[in-house]
Structure 1
């Protein structure tokens, strides 16, 4: 796979969606967890989505249970939690593994395109990847980086 558009992802209902559906958009891909210390980032991710959506930004959330079992077992619980507590309206997808032998091919690709501080792999929940309108992974943001701090990077590529 050579482009983010080569991947298909699983919707909450189990149907497949091509990442090519997002071609031409600025994309934030983030691995989420409902019971993580960074869960409040849902608020800021939602705010970015609302502020930039009309300009072509999409936020794609992928629940993951790879780090201390911080995600609900049921996808319905996850979706309900995100909507009820954080007003999430951006697309959420099926739970994925983001590390190890079972890692989602999408996340393996993203991590290979932009390495983290000490490792290529995903180290924790709420690792965020910013992708330009041509599908290039332009920046990776650490879990502890507030989504609000992504604004300047978004502004550079949203035009």
Structure 2
């Protein structure tokens, strides 16, 4: 199994394989609407706008596992992101990033990352950077801002 074999759920409950993002540089982020790091949505959107025409994509996955900081429905979460931060990158259905109901995507990311391999997600806004071949290049903890990873993204483009 590789990254592109994994299916995820879009906000409208439609399944999509990550195959749809093959040959793109991908940044996967677990998000939350009521977190100290929520303002990173603005930086993520800036990063996306800067590089989207060069086959860069950000995939946002809301998660309510950390102090219940994303309690809304998928529709409420999407509306919040769009209204408050102008988010235009794809946001997906809420999922679990750790524990017994951990989503298949996060099992894969944690197992195959070269940084913090096997370590569970500690908080909202952890980021995984993936090259055009579907290889996980880096994992960034929550406090690392989108601006701080801009050069690393640009190198992959």
TM range (shorter): over 0.9
Give TM-score, length-normalised by structure 1.
0.95
Deviation of residue 111 (structure 1)?
A: 1.1
Partner of 2:124: 125
Contact 2:22–2:134, Cα closer than 8 Å, also in 1? yes
Closer/same/farther in 2, CA of residues 154 and 118 from structure 1, 3 Å limit: closer
Partner of 1:96: 95
Deviation of residue 119 (structure 1)?
A: 6.0
Give TM-score, length-normalised by structure 2.
0.96
Partner of 1:140: 139
Give the count of matched residue pairs.
157
Partner of 2:66: 67
Runs of 4+ in 1 over 6 A off after TM superposition: none
Aligned partners of 1:109 and 1:30: how far apart in 2? 14
Note the 1:5-154 alignment, pairs <5 A.
5-114=4-113, 117=116, 120-154=119-153
Q: Which structure 1 segments of 5+ residues have no match?
A: none
Contact 2:114–2:137, Cα closer than 8 Å, also in 1? no
Which deviations, in whole Å up to 9, do the C-alpha atoms of 1:45-102 show, x marking residues without a partner? 0001000000000000000001000003311110010000000000000000000010
Q: Over aligned residue pairs, what C-alpha RMSD do you find?
A: 1.3
Contact 1:59–1:90, Cα closer than 8 Å, also in 2? yes
